[in-house]
Chains A and B, each alone.
Chain A
């Protein structure tokens, strides 16, 4: 269900694990956000470009197109693509080369190891990010 309430901020969740995707979806709805879902990088990119969400939650390890590739492409599209806030959700540790790459080639981005943070914290982070965006 894609709500088009202009007062709500829209979040795009790009995550291949359905359990996680669903709980995130439910939580964000409860918090009053509009929520879009995608299950791989390909879908995610298409969704992002079509619906211009206010923020993208991006998993890294996904089939078809992984998160890094999607972000690279996204940043290379247009002005909007360059600047949309992205929060990377991943299982990979902070030291992993992939993450470093991501942080290097992509500002602004946050990076969170899923298992280390509560879903409440995630919501806080998103709200914080969105308020900064103004």
Chain B
């Protein structure tokens, strides 16, 4: 009986051992399973102590290769703090984990055994023993790449943010700019509104003026015509606009006139002022005073022409009537003047009896007075001839100096009695000019006559005839007192005589220079004078006296038949 009990005891112990064996086997299987698990993980798994340096108690293959150790043994030789880029940071980590009992996703700057810097993300728990010692169990992930990506993303984000900031700033600037533009536009708008109001006033003025205003483009096509156009020409503004101004007027003037008109406004870009004959719609010819101005843009190009016309037909008629009257009256006056002249002459000659010396004196006064009247009549007739256009121009080749010399001979008595010295300079290269000698004679008679009249005893006169460009230039200078500034603007006007002239020659009629101007301008020349004031000098350095200048085109003048 003992054996069966022993055998049963042994059998029961075997069962227990088998159970224990099984349990141990299961446990070992479990441990192996967990070991496998931990060894296969790609995250680092470790256990290390809590000291400031610390050492590893366990490390999985992942952490070993993470830190580029050749083996687990090599890895575990190192202190935990060795793996820190800044070993002092280890104590901070230990403090933290002690405080909270765990860390989660703690980013640490670590360095491998080969010196490569990495960033690890650590999640660990602390396990404290009753005796105060402890260890941490943790997982560590190499997030270096992840960090790099994060950094790149951050940079990208920053760049994006900057770009957005920049773009926003640009947008704001643009907004400011457009606000400014809007403001400027508003100002412009106000300007235009005020301009438009002014234009309204101008338009009102143009609509109501009796002068004809036509605005054309640079080709001469009318783009605006005011109501006065209809009153003057008979054509309504609508009929005028869009047409080449000039075609409507049927161009009764000679072609040369229109040529000169275009040359002045288009080529020379100057204002054209003149008189023009046009035809009204009903065929009636009328005379207008015309003023055409070119209008320029900023680049000095012509963009418009503005033409202003005034119907002066009535004025012309009145003028003509006046001249005709003067002409008629002057002719009539000649008869009684001749009568006085011839009868007085015969008495003075003794043809009708002896004449006592005192009687002679008185008769001579009568004769002189009469002669003056005859001269005045002749002058009036010349003037009215010019104004009516009833004079002829009969050109022939002349030497200007010949006519000048002849006039000087006429003036010899006065020149001698006044003891005037005359200096003459004739340019020998001056050719003959085809011109009307009797009219040229009038020019010299007036200018040389004046020079002799208005100079003192022993005075000086200089006569120069020279060439200047395409003209003959006549200059007559004397060293008299000159023409006072106040009289200068009126010198060439009709019947003007300044005080000094009146004093020197009370008989003068004030028409001479007017006639000279008419003749010279009719010949296509110019006449002007220089009489120095305190501030000007006559060219060539004289500082006293008066110099008259006349230019006459070398090309001469054309034959002109009287306009009647």
Which A residues fall within an 8 A CB radius of B?
A: 17, 19-20, 23-24, 26-27, 30, 61, 91-93, 95-97, 100, 113-116, 118-120
Contacts and interface: CB of A to CB of B under 8 A. Distances in A.
Main secondary structure of the interface of A (DSSP, over half): helix
B339 A119 contact: no
Given A26-B352, A95-B562, A96-B390, 6 more contacts: A20-B342, A23-B343, A91-B332, A96-B562, A115-B338, A118-B341
B268 interface: no
Contacts of B338: 20, 91, 114-115
B351 A30 contact: yes
Interface of B: 331-332, 334-339, 341-343, 345-346, 349, 351-352, 374, 377-378, 381, 385, 390-392, 562, 564
A91 B331 CA distance: 5
A11 B331 CA distance: 26
A91 B336 CA distance: 11
B334 A91 contact: yes
A119 B346 contact: yes
A100 B378 CA distance: 18
A40 to B, nearest CB: 15
B431 to A, nearest CB: 27
Given A17-B339, A115-B338, A23 B346 contact: yes
Contact of A23 (B342, B374, B391, B562): B342
A95 to B, nearest CB: 5
A120 B345 contact: yes
16 contacts: A17-B339, A20-B335, A20-B339, A23-B342, A27-B351, A91-B332, A91-B335, A97-B390, A100-B562, A114-B335, A114-B338, A115-B337, A115-B341, A115-B377, A115-B378, A119-B342
Contacts of B351: 26-27, 30
A120 B342 CA distance: 9
A115 B378 CA distance: 9
A24 B346 CA distance: 10
Contacts of B331: 61, 91-92
Contacts of B391: 95
A23 B391 CA distance: 32
Contacts of B392: 95, 100
A23 B349 CA distance: 13
A116 B374 contact: yes
Contacts of A100: 392, 562
A115 B373 CA distance: 10
A24 B338 CA distance: 11
Nearest to B382: A93
A115 B374 CA distance: 7
A116 B378 CA distance: 9
Contacts of A96: 390, 562
A95 B374 contact: no
B334 A113 contact: yes
A100 B391 CA distance: 11
Contacts of A113: 334
Nearest to B390: A95
By Cβ-Cβ distance, the 4 closest A-B pairs, closest first, are A91-B334, A114-B338, A115-B334, A119-B342
A75 B342 CA distance: 30
A55 B242 CA distance: 70
A119 B341 CA distance: 9
A17 B349 contact: no
A17 B346 contact: no
Contact of A114 (B334, B390, B562): B334
B173 to A, nearest CB: 83
B291 to A, nearest CB: 32
A114 B343 CA distance: 13
A113 B385 CA distance: 16
Interface centre among B338, B352, B374, B392 (most CB of A within 10 A): B338
A17 B343 contact: no
A104 B374 CA distance: 27
A15 to B, nearest CB: 10
A1 to B, nearest CB: 18
B335 A17 contact: yes
Contacts of A27: 342, 346, 351
A92 B337 CA distance: 14
B382 to A, nearest CB: 8
Nearest to A92: B331
Contacts of B381: 93
A125 to B, nearest CB: 14
A60 to B, nearest CB: 10
Contacts of B345: 118-120
Contacts of A115: 334, 337-338, 341, 374, 377-378
